[in-house]
Chain A
């Protein structure tokens, strides 16, 4: 089955700096890679996703890059703000095949 590794497990940055979280996956058939943000006590919520036919996707301060050959994808957050502090999960799945496999999560702390 699919295996997703995520690092770092914790990341602390100063407000305004950039943050990068990286994930690798094992199943070359995976073609959908979402990122979820989970604030303390809340449900995970999708913040951005990328499909295997695209190498990069950007949404305001958030971007995701995908390297299919190396089987890794990364989340980039620029101009970080204290409200970006949360746990971020990457995931991998095959479209319409059901279940996603999640990484272990990264706790991001943005210090004002």
Chain B
């Protein structure tokens, strides 16, 4: 299994500002994932963060809006830039672990409200 610490757990931000979310894992993992979950909805993958290379973004998400860092095998950050109320959501980081390397473990999430 993997234990993930994510912070902050929640924040209220002003329009036009940026917020950086941190994700720390208790073991080395190849891939870390960042998801967005809007209220009452499913998980939408924003990007996959690999150590030593640029993140891979899903359709509809761009690096300028959601820059990601992955400085080592246990840590990643996601920045939500130039925020608008539409960015209000829960952001979750996730890693794969387990026998087949494909069981996903999630952080507790960051509940972001943009005013």
Contact = CB atoms under 8 A, between A and B. Distances in A.
Contacts of A104: 41-42
A61 interface: no
* Residue picked from A34, A43, A104, most chain B C-beta under 10 Å: A43
Interface of A: 32, 34, 36, 42-46, 49, 51, 89, 91, 93, 95-96, 98-100, 102-105
Nearest to A103: B42
Interface of B: 31, 33, 41-43, 45, 48, 92, 96, 100-109
A103 B104 CA distance: 15
Contact of B102 (A89, A95, A102, A105): A95
A102 B104 CA distance: 12
A98 B96 CA distance: 8
B45 A99 contact: yes
Contact of A105 (B41, B101, B103): B41
B78 to A, nearest CB: 15
Q: Which 3 residue pairs are nearest across A and B when measured between Cβ atoms?
A: A43-B106, A104-B42, A95-B100
Contacts of B42: 89, 102-105
Given A89-B43, A98-B48, A99-B48, A34 B101 contact: no
